[in-house]
DNA sequence: AAACGCTTCAACCGCTACTAG
DNA sequence: CCTAGTAGCGGTTGAAGCGTT
């Protein structure tokens, strides 16, 4: 299906070059409610290989009772697209638009075409790739983000020539291509933190992920669903499980360069025993976090490198960290002020409130069988080691709560609301 | 070796929140 | 205030990997 271009104007339908299946329409034009023979009556497609062409043809006068033409269009078009595409039946085309479409539509003008078409679907299924990403697609996306920065996801398909919808591009970048992504197995410490944060936040995966540098919400969500949630159901897997073998039998990566451009990447099969990070990468992450501009790994010499276990790093300047080791504090980068990170939390290690709560109550908390009571007792500022400005904000805000056992949050809900503000 | 079932996780879907006009 | 566009979030799906029989 190719619909190269057409324009609509008040009382005017112009079809310059339109084809669908075996039918094609060239140079048909109707003006002033006098449609020409051969004009298709129903068609609504984003053009393939085009910038922002949309097509629209309706073959019947619109009853005034239906409301404005615009509102009719917004309701009718998706339906036509779904059910009547291809029904290019020749009928009289009687348009009586209540609004004027300027030539900008025909010229690829975006604003007006969007106004006409209403809210377009996230992406057209037509001509868009789906499923696993290829290395070529990754390259295109990372190159684009390098130049333009994050955001503007919707522009990527047409500006970068990537046949992925913006939403998919964003997801790919956020969950895989970002240079600060840390891959490898979830460490016991991270797992413990996830459990604690989930106890506090529930399924707020994004918030939880924000406290584990380099981890994505998707990753944590998956980890929770596949590992941790089962524990609560008493279904923790035994030593025969795949999970128990993760890390013991790392998978090495062997790339066939001849196939690089066409092969689908199966990233999920890659498990890494070791994580390499250069000292510069830490600063890089900090800077990028503040700039909110990411640099693609392919272009960034400072990126965090995931190296399959068993492979040799040729760069001995790299700091090698085994996932089995304790994370050095300086490895877990605090990527921004006001953000609570793993090292902060483990630096505090909850000792402040364990001190106040007492060992037995702390045990309850960690067992999860007295969370509400625990929530009612601790002060947020005690829960983690806060950056100074955060503490100041807290102490200066209405939400500040005395850090002693006499504090009363009133309810768990109230606490969570407060904690949420604090966490955010 | 093949079949089967379970596990994993990247990607998708639908929805909501936010923002700009 | 309303509407449309967009980003982001959480739930879900399904293909591939892996273990067991």
Range among A86-95, A114-123, A148-157, A192-201 rated most confident: A192-201
Q: Write the pLDDT tens digit of every residue in A367-391.
A: 444 444 433 333 333 333 333 333 3
CB A170 within 7 Å, strand B = no
- Rounded Cα distance between A319 and A382, Å, is 33
Closest CA-bearing residue to C1' of B14: A122
**Sign (positive/negative) of CA torsion A379, A380, A382, A387?**
negative
Q: What is the spatial distance, in angstroms and rounded to an integer, between the CA atom of A242 and the C1' atom of B3?
A: 19
The DSSP-derived string for A201-213 is HSS-HHHHHHTST
- Average pLDDT of every residue of chain A: 46
Q: What is the spatial distance, in angstroms and rounded to an integer, between the CA atom of A185 and the C1' atom of B2?
A: 32
Do A136 and A175 lie in one domain? The reply is: yes
| Residue A397: other Cβ atoms inside 10 A | 12
Residue A215 falls inside a structural domain: yes
Q: Closest nucleotide to residue A150 (Cα to C1')?
A: C7
Do A143 and A165 lie in one domain? The reply is: yes
Residue A115 falls inside a structural domain: no
Q: Among the residues of A80-210, which ranges form H helices?
A: 103-106, 110-117, 135-148, 156-160, 166-172, 188-201, 205-210
Q: Write the pLDDT tens digit of every residue in A12-64.
A: 232 222 222 222 222 222 333 333 333 333 333 323 222 222 233 333 333 33
Residue A55 falls inside a structural domain: no
Domain limit, last residue, from A162, A179, A196: A179
Closest CA-bearing residue to C1' of B9: A268
Label residue A186 by pLDDT band (50, 70, 90).
confident
CB A134 within 7 Å, strand B = no
Total domains present in chain A: 2
Do A166 and A198 lie in one domain? The reply is: no
CB A56 within 7 Å, strand C = no
Do A203 and A173 lie in one domain? The reply is: no
- Rounded Cα distance between A356 and A362, Å, is 9
How are strands ordered across the β-sheet holding A23-31? A2-9, A12-20, A23-31
Report CA dihedral (A370, A375, A379, A385) to the nearest 10 degrees.
70
Report residue A320: phi and psi, to 5°.
Answer: -100, 125
Q: Write the pLDDT tens digit of every residue in A85-126.
A: 333 222 222 222 222 222 222 223 322 222 223 334 445 555
Among A214, A185, A163, residue whose Cα is nearest residue A331: A214
Give kind and range of the element (H or E) at residue A190. helix A188-201
Q: For strand B, which nucleotides have at least one atom less than 7 Å from a protein CB?
A: 7-15
CA A93 to chain centre: 43
Domain limit, last residue, from A179, A195, A221: A179
Do A137 and A173 lie in one domain? The reply is: yes
Residue A258 falls inside a structural domain: no
CB A178 within 7 Å, strand B = no
Closest CA-bearing residue to C1' of C20: A240
State the number of CA atoms in the 13 A half-sphere of A332 facing the CB. 23
Residue A110 falls inside a structural domain: no
Q: Write the pLDDT tens digit of every residue in A237-273.
A: 433 333 333 333 332 333 333 333 334 443 333 333 3
The token duo for A315 is: 């760069």
Q: What is the spatial distance, in angstroms and rounded to an integer, between the CA atom of A348 and the C1' atom of B12?
A: 39
pLDDT average, residue stretch A65-72? 34
Q: Among the residues of A8-150, which ranges form H helices?
A: 69-79, 103-106, 110-117, 135-148
Residue A58 falls inside a structural domain: no
According to the model, what pLDDT value does residue A190 have? 87
Domain limits for position A152: 129-179
The CATH number linked to A154 is: 1.10.10.60
- Scanning residues 126 through 145 of protein chain A, those with a beta carbon under 7 Å from any atom of strand C turn out to be 131
Q: What angle do CA A225, A231, A237 make, to 5 degrees?
A: 90
Residue A137 falls inside a structural domain: yes
Closest CA-bearing residue to C1' of C8: A206
pLDDT at A164 over 80: yes
Any idea what DSSP says for residue A62?
A: P
Residue A154 falls inside a structural domain: yes
Q: What is the spatial distance, in angstroms and rounded to an integer, between the CA atom of A131 and the C1' atom of C16?
A: 12
- Scanning residues 327 through 386 of protein chain A, those with a beta carbon under 7 Å from any atom of strand B turn out to be none
The model carries a pTM of 0.45
Q: Write the pLDDT tens digit of every residue in A334-347.
A: 333 333 344 444 43
């Amino acid at each position: 299906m190719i619909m190269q271009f057409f324009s609509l104007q008040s009382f005017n339908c112009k079809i310059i070059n339109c084809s669908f299946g075996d039918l094609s329409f060239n140079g048909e034009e109707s003006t002033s409610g006098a449609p020409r023979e051969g004009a298709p009556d129903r068609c609504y497609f984003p053009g393939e290989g085009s910038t922002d062409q949309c097509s629209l043809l309706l073959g019947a006068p619109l009853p005034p009772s239906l409301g404005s033409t615009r509102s009719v269009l917004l309701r009718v078009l998706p339906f036509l697209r779904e059910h009547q595409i291809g029904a290019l039946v020749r009928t009289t085309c009687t348009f009586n638009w209540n609004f004027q479409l300027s030539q900008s539509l025909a010229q690829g003008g975006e604003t007006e075409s969007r106004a006409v078409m209403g809210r377009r679907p996230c992406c057209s299924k037509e001509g868009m790739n789906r499923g696993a990403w290829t290395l070529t697609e990754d390259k295109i996306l990372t190159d684009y983000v390098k130049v333009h920065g994050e955001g503007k996801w919707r522009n990527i398909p047409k500006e970068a020539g990537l046949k992925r919808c913006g939403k998919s591009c964003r997801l790919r970048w956020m969950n895989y291509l970002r240079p600060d992504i840390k891959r490898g197995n979830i460490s016991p410490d991270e797992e413990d933190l996830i459990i604690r944060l989930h106890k506090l936040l529930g399924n707020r995966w994004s918030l939880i992920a924000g406290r584990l540098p380099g981890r994505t919400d998707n990753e944590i969500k998956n980890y929770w669903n596949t590992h941790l949630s089962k524990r609560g159901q008493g279904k923790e897997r035994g030593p025969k499980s795949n999970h128990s073998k993760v890390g013991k039998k790392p998978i090495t990566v062997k790339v066939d360069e001849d196939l690089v451009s066409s092969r689908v990447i199966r990233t999920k099969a890659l498990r890494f025993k070791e994580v390499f990070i250069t000292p510069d990468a830490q600063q890089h992450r900090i800077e990028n976090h503040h700039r909110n501009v990411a640099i693609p790994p392919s272009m960034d010499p400072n990126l965090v490198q995931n190296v399959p276990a068993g492979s040799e790093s040729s760069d001995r300047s790299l700091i090698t960290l085994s996932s089995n080791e304790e994370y050095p504090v300086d490895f877990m980068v605090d990527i921004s002020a006001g953000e609570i990170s793993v090292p902060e939390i483990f630096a505090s290690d909850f000792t402040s409130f364990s001190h106040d709560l007492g060992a037995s109550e702390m045990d309850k908390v960690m067992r999860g069988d007295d969370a509400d009571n625990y929530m009612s007792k601790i002060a947020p500022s005690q829960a983690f080691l806060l950056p100074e400005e955060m503490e100041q904000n807290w102490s200066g805000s209405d939400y500040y709560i005395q850090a002693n056992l006499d504090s009363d949050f009133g309810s768990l809900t109230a606490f969570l609301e407060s904690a949420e503000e604090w966490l955010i």
